[in-house]
Each structure stands twice: as structure tokens, then as C-alpha cells.
Chains A and B, each alone.
Chain A
Amino acid sequence: MKKLLPLLVLVAACGKTTAKPTLSSRADPACAALDTAKIVEVFETITQDTTWTKDKVYRLEDHIFIEGATLTIEPGTRVEGQTVGSSLVVTSSARLIASGTKDEPIVFTSCRAEGEREPGDWGGVVLLGKAPINVTGGTEKIEGFPAAEGRTSYGGTDATHDCGTLRYVRVEFAGFELAKDNELNGITVGGCGNKTTIDFVQSHMGQDDAIEFFGGTVNAKHLVLTQADDDGLDWDYGWTGMVQFMIVQQNGVVGDNGIEADNNGKALDALPRSHPIIYNATLSGSAKAPKTAGKTQTGALLRRGTAGEIYNTIFLSFTDFPVDIRDAATVAQMNAGALTIESSCFFNNGFQGAWDDVVVKPEDDDDGGFNEGAFFTDVTRHNLVSDDPLLTAPTNLVQPGFKPQSSSSVLLPTNARTPDASSGFFDASAKYIGAIGTVDWTESWTAYPVN
């Protein structure tokens, strides 16, 4: 009898699913009409190991928290978030294994029909862990949720924390705006440790940032961060991960910076200090004339005491500045050699000729007179400042191409720095500037839908 019971429950559950004629009142009327038998309405906290399969469409009807359990998502599965408040939150006691394949990526997107989707339709994917962050007390609640929500805590002392795997995953039209300056990103990663895997992940049309790392030691490879509402890659609170092969594409109406880098906004020298190492990134702006974009667009805004190393990276066509350094604490990191951009390429960015905020607006000096242009064009940093990287179609929003033409100087190994393979993370063979060398790894699993 004891063995029969689960079976009975299963049968009852199955009966329930198949017999369900209509969706519940929680269902968003704005969602695309689908065969209801195919839809699984997800509205409760996931507290037991669960597997989502590709024969169903999983509709998130609330902010779904995974607690003390692992959610496994099979390749080719589609997860849809409904509007007015839904997301998938992997709390620090849980893991998400979303491991797709090149041909069968896992897609997280808006529940609305294709053609009606918009950035910010739903809240995106939130990964929370127990790796160190530099906020007082060592823990913090992730933004984008009501303050009383207790399950959003992240941060701790386990640098090897494993939040799970995101592999061949696309997250589209995400980023929930809870209140002013309080939003979820396309992908929000708080305090995840270096056992977490993020590889071949696209965040497309996310509101606020495409991906934001709040502290932690998590690494990421093969990122495609396209047309975010705010920044492409954003980091804060002492993130010390590594990144290789990253594409950022900003659009001219809503996009902000390619990279926005902070240590800590309140205590700029808080420890551990943000110090990621990035090799092989391509950051593409909108190529608009200065001050004509919807926001001030900068290739990389490095501020609030961050450190970090950026190598082999293309800064292309940013409307307002190639790189802006802010705050005395950040300048101190540059002078100490802990924050640098080397062996990279700057081309067609706003004010690239007079590359210093003091020159642009003397009263607006926010870095104690630090001259960005002089610093980054210094020959010891081996940066290219007048070579067109000759990418195929970097500002094309529908069918972009980030691969350089074979004649491009960014492909010359002598212009690049050999990635440091000692950690076992970086691919040392990528002796070129930019995210893509001769093989376009974005093919087949990425997508660039307009709506």
C-alpha cells in the first residue's frame, strides 16, 4: 500500500493536468494562446528536486523561488514568464541545472506572443549563492523584490558555492522594474561561487542590465549580451570572476554602457574588491553622434573603487565616451596597476579624440583630473586607437555580425595578449582582440528577435 500511494498521487496529478480545460485566474491574459494541455502553470515555491521537460511550456505566474532543491531543465525546454511580476529565483540553498545544447538551447522568454514581446515583460533569471560579497555583514538582499521578501538573501563565505549551470541558454525580454532604480536584470547573479557554470548564455532585450554580477567568484564564458535597456555587463560588491568571449551590443534608444563596473557605491574601498579578469570581449555601441542617444553611452564606465583587468577587448562606436573613469578611489586602483585595459582596440567612439571628461566639460570632473585618453593611449598598454576592427555588422540589431573580416588588425596575434591559462579557465589559444576569432561561436543557438 505504501508503495501504491505515490503512484495514486501521480495518477491523480496526471488526471488533473490532462483534464484541465482552461488556465487559472492567475494566468496573464496577455500571454500567447497555446494548447493548454502543453502549458504547466508554475505558481508555487519549488522545494523538491524537479525536472522540466521540453514537451511542455512552463509558465511562471509569480516570482518562483527554488529553495533547498535542484531544478533541472532539459535541453530544448521553453520557460515563459508572465507579465506584471514573474521570475525564476534560485535561492542560495538551491541549484538550477539548465544545460541546453547548441541545437536545442533552453529559452526563457516572455509569455506574450512573438511580435508583442517587450523588454521588461517578466523578471528574468536570478541566481543567488553564498560566495563572498563586500556588503557589511556579508549578506545582502537582491534588488527588484519587495523589501520584506526574505528569500532573496545572498552572500557568505563559500567562494566555491555552486549555483548550478546555465549552458546554451537564452533569456529574452526580461528585467522587471519594481520601482525607481530597483529592477531585476535579464540575468541577475548574486554571490555565486566559482563552481557555478555560465557558458553560452545570451541575454537579449533585458530591461536594466543584460547581466549583473553582485559580488561572488563566478566565471562566465561565451556571453552574448544584446540590446539591454541599461548596461551590457554590470558588476558590483567585490565580484572577482573571470570572463572570456563576451559580446555586448547596445541600441541607441535605451542602452547605456557596455560595461558598468563598481566596487561598492557606499564604501568605495570595501573588501573584497571587485577585480574581474576579462579576455576577448567585443563591446559595440550604437554609432550615434555624441549626446543623441537616449542615454549617455560609454564603452566602459569604471567607478566606485573597482579594480579589474580587461584584455583583448574591442570598444566600438559608443556614442559618448570610449571609457570613463570615475572617483578618486578608482583612479587609485589605476595608479596601483590593479585596474587596466590593455591590448585592446578603441574605435569610432564619441570624444575619442579628446578623451578626457575634463576636456569635454571641465566642471564635471569626477575623477580628480585623471586623463583617460593619456592613460589608455600610453604605448605601454598596447592599445589600438585608430584601427577599424572591421566587424561584419556590429550595429545591425536584427542580424548582427561580430566576426572580424579576415583583414582586420584585431586578428593579428601580435596585437593581442595571450590569455593566462594558469587558472585553467582561459583559452590561451585566443590570441586575438575581440570575442570572435575565425569561428563564430554565436551561430545556431542565439537569436535577435525585435519583439
Chain B
Amino acid sequence: MHKHLALASLWLTSTIAYAQPTTEPASQPASVAASQPATGVIKGRVTDKKTKEGLIEATVKVTAGTPDGSTPSALTDVDGNFELTLPAGRYELRVYYELYKAQKFGDVVVTPGKPRTLNVALTTDQDAVEEVVVVAKADRRSQKAVIVERQKAAVVSDAISAQEIQRTPDNSASEAMKRVVSATVTEGKYVVVRGLGGRYSTTLLNNADLPSPEPDEQAVPLDLFPTTLLANMTVLKTYSPELPGAFSGGTLQIETNAYPEKRELRLRLQTEYNTEATFRRFNGTPGATLDGLGFDNGRRALPQSVPRDRTVIAGNVSSAEQNEIAKSFRNVWTPRARLGLLALGITATYGDTQTLGKNRLGYTVALRYAHNDQIQRADVASIRIDDEALTYREQVKNETATEQAALGALVNLGLELGADHELNLFQMLSHGAEASVQTAEGYNENDGLGISDTRLRFITRTLSFTQIRGMHRFSRTEDGKARSLGWFATYAYTARDEPDTRDTSYNVLDDGTRRLRIQPGSLERLFSTLGEHATNENVELTLPFQPLVLKVGARFNANVRAFSARRFRFVFIGDDPSVLQGTAEEISAADNVGGVVRMEERTLPGDAYDAALFVGGVYANIDVTRLDPFRINAGVRVELARQTLTPNATLRTPGALPAGTDRLDADVMPALNLSYAFKNGMQLRAAYGYTVSRPRFRELAPFIYFDYVRRRALSGNPALNVTHIHNVDVRWEWFPMEGVILAASGFYKYFSQPIERVIANAAQGDLTFANADGAHLAGAELEARTGLGFLSIYLQPFYVAANFSLMFSRVQLGSSTAAQTSSARPLQGQSPYVANASIGYSYEKTGTEVALLYNVYGPRIVEVGVDRLPDVYEQPFHRLDFAFSQRFAEQLVVKVTAQNIAYQRISLRQGPLIVQSYQPGFNLFASLQWQL
């Protein structure tokens, strides 16, 4: 598969180009063909005389001979091939390429039905080489390049380019992702491809696996990646054996920015106004002075007095020690209001390329800081059937104020040793903090009283990703193809820290009296840390043989995770319940410790675990490209995976540890991708792949986490099995001219033993994971993208793009149904339709970009109904965004965007009743980019 190699070598290889039969409207072949029905073809290859390598983007231009005096031209493709369709006649051609000596060919005869072959070998222009650095690379960040890459890929893929991302108001990878065909984004950061969410999408960063830093979510949060650091994002929708076998909905490939051809310094300053948070009352945590910079100032640290080797319970510590420990915790439970701030973002990137003889060294350094305040004010309700009608049971106003700070650094170093060897070193550091205050005010049906809950929470996520990769080309075959060896090795570390999450829960009596509830989740603190080391190595050998290319490779992955959590709770031991009417700080004050309250550790035996996943895979794949118009890409991958999860007993907690997991699975995964290329740029593809989906650590871990908003516990299931998936795809694509795409696809997937999130009991609604019997998913996708230049020359800068997906899925829950209302239902998170549309104006001369974008997804299940209550559907959200950017004096770009112009609310419905709704707000964003 071409794409894969190109990725590994990224910007260093000069492999990317795009066929461009004509550039000027006057010389459109269509008009030529109309006046002269008999046409013929000139085709051939342009090569470097010395290296015999095809030259990309060399120009073959008709200089004389056309009846109307026009001068049509063609650019060579990635292999140096070109094709020109001309009316029958005699022509004069000129073949030229930057830094090479141009050649002229007179008297080239074009006869209908008989292609004329013209192979050209250009020699370098010695004078030019002395002055200028060698070839200009095609910029892989452009939308055109992305389309060409997609066209040439052996598998079905959809992508969004850096250029296109720039046109949108999107600031992070997750926002940009929703523009991709049949991709949706949930919770603002998790990608759902073809209705398959979280656990079914794999994220590869520069082709290497990226571990998720979330203990409770399975997916990689894409908001980790600012768009300024991204090159392209590609969603591979069909499987090919070079990819890790854990493939189901799609594999998202994120490529980071390369280094520029010449010195480039970019500074970007951005700010954002949001109607819900900016300049509004915003709940913060008292005393947390460094939250805005992404760090805790130490006030949330687990006090030194807490023993690290044993729990704080009677028998492990004396009661006097227990009380001293209780007093050493910061007695802060109540938020303090401030004013919500404008969001701020600063990004600086600097890059250059140095030429050292035949060798080139390029680099990019990027730094980033971002800060924003967000508020979500949600009306949350639960329902029930009372007297045979669906009615509200509880209605609660939930407010979550979240302060986010992010720091990022990226270094990319590329070394090109001659034309055949490339080395690359990539390092990324990303650190983010999320300080949030959640409050819930409303009615608690169980108590028959008002309720007022507060949670102070602070989470930091750190990701360090180091990758070294290389590409080596060896002896070349006659047609210029080289044997090559590509490899990479990565080491990644992710950490997630949640120090001192504090919960309080009050009952509010009818006269307004507040009374602390004495139960778990009230005067309770949680500390948790998660660290995961991951390494990923890949070697791939590409061996071109006539008429095919054989690839063999091996990949090794290891992920080792350690998680631990501790819970501490203050319990009331006094005699006078009126004390409970005080504030949380008054109740747990030092004076009360021992007599009125006592702190107990409530850490459970399942609150710490070690987990590991080792996957070794080998694969072989053949790509038969010279079978024009057919292309066959077939291969097989064998993977051996060992997955373990062991509850960790380092912290002495009495009682037996919960069960762990240790499983070994071997899988043979065949894949076949077929394509048929029609003459006119049409392509028909069909693919089959057999893949797996392994349980995620979180799904296996017995750790219990309390979901604050939905008030229920989530815990994993160590007995889960691996899911196997049959994937079938067909796609018709047409690339009639530059930048124009028409595509239609159909897909079907069958999941054997899919892992579903299930509700274990009707009363609590507690969640766990179970293997359902099976699931089907079928769908169709339509995509169109075109410039409007073909309508009129004046519409040249305008373009329109739209995509639409229809999906249908059905899960057979079998014995895992439990108390759920439906035993068969759509997959959770799968919308029956997803649509994207955009219209834009992009005029290079004035540096103006304007775009209006629309995105909608159909109703999707966010919550499975239990005990006769219907499933909860998130309602379609019509998102209308606008973006405008203007370049000034080559150096300055001003961008203004508006998000959610239609001011739509997100709402969730259960039957006829709305059970959750909030206004994400209208966002106005402005940025200033200065480029040197």
C-alpha cells in the first residue's frame, strides 16, 4: 500500500503530485473535443536521466499546433507519467522542469485511437543547481494533495487536510474531524466513525499507536491535538494488513506537521468569546492559583501524613493517627465565584531546512499555550411511568464550570541522506489541566427533598510521544522503483492525575435548610493516578517485482498501565444532627474531627490495578498495480496478543482482590482490496477485511467509578472476550478534474461478540461491559466536492462540498440484556444519518478565505432505557459555522470565525420527554497569525 510507506517517510519523499490535465479554462479538453471529434493521446514518462527516477509535476506543454492557438499542458504524476488528449494533428511540445534543462519536441503526430508514446529523460541544469536547493516538494498539507493521495490509496479512506482545517472554525483535531464523511464527534473529543464510537476507532499518530490517557473512556481524546500542529487526518475505512489488527469502524491517522522548505516563523494569537461562559459568573476552586497554567499548586496533593503502603483504617493506624491525617487534608469544599474569561491561545512555530551537500536537514519547533473557561448549564431529568404515563421523576439543574489550560511542545527533525535515506525524529509533549466545579440543584425523588451537590475536580493529562523513523531505498528496478525498508520506533507515556476530587451532597428542606447527607459521595475525596507506557515498533520491507509490489513487515506493541485510586470519606459520628446544617468546611473542621466527624479510608480492593497488552504481528501484502485498470491489494496479518489485568495489592487493603484477566489470543486476519480504474478518473473499489477489537483496559478493570451527572456506578468486567469483525466495503469514486470528487460507498460489518456497555441493574442503572451475541452494521455514504469554476470563470474561487451518510445497525444483546427495555437496538452512539455541507470562497490572489459550514447528525442513543423506559436519544443538532480569513501583506492572516450561529441547544429525549438539554453557546473566535 502506497499510502503507508509515504506516511512513514512523510515529507521527505517526493512522491506526491497530482494529475492536472489542464490549468487554464481556455484550454479545457472538453471544448477541444467538441470542435474536433477525433482525438488522440500522447502519453509517456519524464525521468531524471541520471537516476532514472520519474520526475513529478514536470510540465509537458503544447507550444504550437492547436487549431485555436491554445497551449494546453499536463503535469506528470507521482511516477513521472503524463497523458495529454489532443485533437488529431501535429504538435510542438516542450517538456520542462525546474532546475532541469527543458527539451523541445517538434512534429509530434497525434492519431485517433493510437496513443503516441513520448518518454523524456531530462538532465539537470548545472548552473541552476549551484544556486538553488533541489526540488520543491508538493505540500502534503494541501487539500489537492490529500485528494490525490486518497485517489492513489489502495484502501478506502477519507481525509481532511490542514488547508481545509484552516478554512473551518475548528481549533482542535476533534472539531475538524466532524467534517469527514460519516464521522461524528461525541463529548467534543471522541470520534465516532460510521456510527462506531470510542472503542471502535483506533488512533495512529504518525502511524504509531497512541495510548488513551482516559481511565473511563476508551478512545483517545482528540482535543489533545491543536489543529495548528496537524498536517492531515485520514480515516481509513477499509482494512489492509499493514494496519494493526484492531480495526473496526475506522483507523484515524493523524499526521503532524512536517518542516517547511524554507525558513518559516509563525506566531498565532487567538481569543474566543462564548456566550455561556465569558464574562459570566464562573465557579472556581479557592486557593488553586496555578490552575490557569495547567498545574496544581500542591494544595491538592495527597497529604504526607497519609501512609503510602496501607490504608487509613482501624488496625492499620491508631485512631489518634487517623484524626491527625483527617486534619491534614485541606478543608476546602465550596467553590468560589469569579468572572469567566475570554479564551486565549498562543502558538509559535519555527522551522527551516538546511542543505549540507547532498544531504538536507529540516526541523520544526512548535510551542503552544491555551486557556479557556467553559460553562455547561444543563437541565437534567429522570423519568418514570406514573399512572401509565411517562412523567418526570426528578429534575435537576446541573452546572459545570470548566477551566482548561493546555501546554504543548513539538519538535520534528528530518535528515535526508542523499536521495535514498531518510531519518526522522519526532517529539511531542502535551500537558493539559481541567479544573471543574460541578453543581447540581434540584429534587431528589428518593428522599422527597431538594438536593444540592457539589464536586470540585482537577484533572491533568500528560502525553509524551517520541518517535524515530527511517526510510531506506536500495537498488532500483528498471522502471525506477526501489526496494525499500521503512521502520519506526516509538515510546509514549501518558499520565492522568486526578488529585483530590471532592464531593459534597446536601438535602435542602422545604424551609431552605441545608442538611448534609451522610452517605458515600458526600464529604468524600478521591485521588487517582494513571500512567501508561507504550512502545510501538514497526519494520516494513517493500519489494517491487513486475508486476506487483510485495510488502512484508512486523509490528510490536506493548502497553503497560498502572492505575491506583484512594478514597477518603468523613463520616458523622456525633449525636447532634443539627451540626449537619453547617457548611462542609464547618462540619469537617479540625475541632470536629474525632468527636463529630471521623475520616475513614474507603479505598476498595479493586481500586488499583496493573494492566498490560502485548501485540506482535507479522504481515505480507501484495499490491498489483500494473494490472491496469485493475489493482489488487491482498494480504494477511497474523497477530498474537496477550492481555493481562491484575488488581494491585501494594496498598494493604484487607479482603480478597477481585479477579483479574490473563488472556492470549492468536488471530489470522486476511484482507483484500480491489480497485478498477476507469479511463475518465473513475474508480470502483471493493474490500473485505477480517479484524479484531480487543477489550480496553477500562472495560476489564473492576475499578468502580461514580458517574456524577447520571448518578450511577461504572465498573469493568474481567471476563470479556475479544470481538471479531467481518468488514465489507464497496466504493465508487470519480475524480473528474482537479479538486473534484464524487463518491458513493456502501459497507457492511458483522460483529461477533461485540463488547457493549450494558446496564446491570434497573434500580441503580449501574454500568458494566458485556459481550453481546452479535451486531450488524450497514450503511451508505455519498460525497461530492467541487470548485464552481466550471460554471463560470467568475465562480472560479468558489467551492462546494457535501457528504451524507446513512447507517443502520442492530445489536442482539442476548443474555446480556438484563433489565434493559430492548433486547435488540441500534448501536449506542450510531446516528441513522450524518450530513456535512459547506460552501466557500478561496481566492489566492487576495488571500481571502470564506466558508459557511453545516453539520448535522441524526438521533442517536446515548443511554439505553431500562425497565420499560424507552432509550434516550440525543436529538439532531444543526450546527452552522462561519469562517473568514484574510491575508494582509503576505505576512499577516486575520481569521474570524463564528460557531453555532443558529444558537442550537443540545437535547436528549426519552420518549416524548426531554431529559437533558443545554446550550453550548455561540462562539466568536478571532486569531491573528504573523508569518515570517
| A interface residue numbers (CB < 8 A to B) | 25-31, 43, 61-62, 82-86, 112, 116, 135-137, 139-143, 146-148, 150, 177-183, 236, 252-254, 264-270, 291-296, 301, 304-305, 324, 326-329, 332, 360-361, 364, 366
Q: Which residues of A contact B521 (CB under 8 A)?
A: 179-180
Whether B313 pairs with A84 at a CB distance below 8 angstroms is yes
Whether A266 pairs with B867 at a CB distance below 8 angstroms is yes
Whether B819 pairs with A137 at a CB distance below 8 angstroms is yes
Q: Which residues of A contact B763 (CB under 8 A)?
A: 140, 143, 236, 265
A27-B654, A30-B314, A180-B706 known; A294+B760 contact, CB < 8 A: no
A336 to B156, CA, bound (A): 65
Q: What is the 8 Å Cβ interface bit string for chain B, positions 754-770, against chain A (1 contact, 0 not)?
A: 00000011111011111
Further contacts, 12 of them, CB under 8 A, given A267-B869, A293-B577? A29-B315, A31-B315, A148-B768, A178-B713, A180-B519, A181-B711, A182-B712, A253-B575, A266-B384, A266-B867, A267-B384, A327-B387
Q: Which residues of A contact B760 (CB under 8 A)?
A: 141, 147-148
Whether B448 pairs with A326 at a CB distance below 8 angstroms is yes
A253-B577, A292-B577 known; A266+B655 contact, CB < 8 A: no
Whether A181 pairs with B764 at a CB distance below 8 angstroms is yes
**Interface-centre pick from A146, A148, A361 (highest chain B CB count, 10 A):** A148
Q: Which residues of A contact B388 (CB under 8 A)?
A: 269
Closest to B601 in A: A84
Q: Which residues of B contact A116 (CB under 8 A)?
A: 314
A86 to B604, CA, bound (A): 11
A30 to B868, CA, bound (A): 44
Whether A181 pairs with B654 at a CB distance below 8 angstroms is no
Within 8 A of A (CB), among B284-334: 311, 313-316
A25 to B821, CA, bound (A): 44
A6 to B520, CA, bound (A): 47
Min C-beta distance of B841 to chain A, whole Å: 53
Closest to B453 in A: A180
Whether A178 pairs with B386 at a CB distance below 8 angstroms is no
Q: Which residues of A contact B655 (CB under 8 A)?
A: 26, 28, 61-62, 82, 84-86
Q: Which residues of A contact B522 (CB under 8 A)?
A: 180
A31-B315, A86-B655, A180-B711 known; A135+B768 contact, CB < 8 A: no
Whether A253 pairs with B572 at a CB distance below 8 angstroms is yes
Within 8 A of A (CB), among B701-744: 702, 704, 706, 711-719
Q: Which residues of A contact B770 (CB under 8 A)?
A: 148
Q: Which residues of B contact A304 (CB under 8 A)?
A: 384
* Residue from the list A86, A136, A326 in contact with B820, Cβ < 8 A: A136
Size class of the contact patch on chain B: 35 or more
Mark the stretch among B256-264, B510-518, B788-796 that contacts chain A: B510-518
A181 to B503, CA, bound (A): 14
**Interface-centre pick from B602, B604, B818 (highest chain A CB count, 10 A):** B818
A112-B314, A332-B387 known; A254+B518 contact, CB < 8 A: yes
Whether B606 pairs with A146 at a CB distance below 8 angstroms is yes
A112 to B47, CA, bound (A): 87
Whether A294 pairs with B577 at a CB distance below 8 angstroms is yes
A137-B819, A178-B713 known; A269+B313 contact, CB < 8 A: no
* Residue from the list B446, B577, B711, B868 in contact with A252, Cβ < 8 A: B577
Whether B510 pairs with A360 at a CB distance below 8 angstroms is yes
* Residue from the list A84, A137, A266 in contact with B654, Cβ < 8 A: A84
Whether A61 pairs with B654 at a CB distance below 8 angstroms is yes
Q: Which residues of A contact B867 (CB under 8 A)?
A: 135-136, 264, 266-267, 270
Q: Is B686 an interface residue (CB 8 A)?
A: no
Closest to B699 in A: A148
Whether B766 pairs with A294 at a CB distance below 8 angstroms is no
Within 8 A of A (CB), among B386-434: 386-388, 393
Q: Which residues of B contact A364 (CB under 8 A)?
A: 510
Q: Is B866 an interface residue (CB 8 A)?
A: yes
Q: Which residues of A contact B658 (CB under 8 A)?
A: 146
A254 to B405, CA, bound (A): 42
Closest to B649 in A: A25
Closest to A60 in B: B655
**Interface-centre pick from B315, B518, B770, B818 (highest chain A CB count, 10 A):** B315
Whether A270 pairs with B819 at a CB distance below 8 angstroms is no
Whether A266 pairs with B762 at a CB distance below 8 angstroms is yes
Closest to A321 in B: B448
Q: Is B578 an interface residue (CB 8 A)?
A: yes
Q: Which residues of B contact A148 (CB under 8 A)?
A: 702, 715-719, 760, 768-770
Q: Which residues of A contact B387 (CB under 8 A)?
A: 268-269, 327-329, 332
Min C-beta distance of A189 to chain B, whole Å: 14
Q: Which residues of A contact B316 (CB under 8 A)?
A: 29-30
Q: What is the 8 Å Cβ interface bit string for chain B, positions 564-577, against chain A (1 contact, 0 not)?
A: 00000000101101
A240 to B767, CA, bound (A): 29
Q: Which residues of B contact A83 (CB under 8 A)?
A: 313-314, 654
* Residue from the list B314, B654, B702 in contact with A146, Cβ < 8 A: B702
Q: Which residues of A contact B715 (CB under 8 A)?
A: 146-148
Min C-beta distance of B472 to chain A, whole Å: 49
Whether A147 pairs with B654 at a CB distance below 8 angstroms is no
A139-B818, A140-B819, A291-B511 known; A179+B704 contact, CB < 8 A: yes
A30-B314, A140-B763, A296-B448 known; A266+B718 contact, CB < 8 A: no
Q: Which residues of A contact B511 (CB under 8 A)?
A: 291
**Interface-centre pick from A28, A29, A179, A327 (highest chain B CB count, 10 A):** A179
Q: Is B653 an interface residue (CB 8 A)?
A: yes
Q: Which residues of A contact B820 (CB under 8 A)?
A: 136-137
A43 to B521, CA, bound (A): 29
Within 8 A of A (CB), among B126-183: none
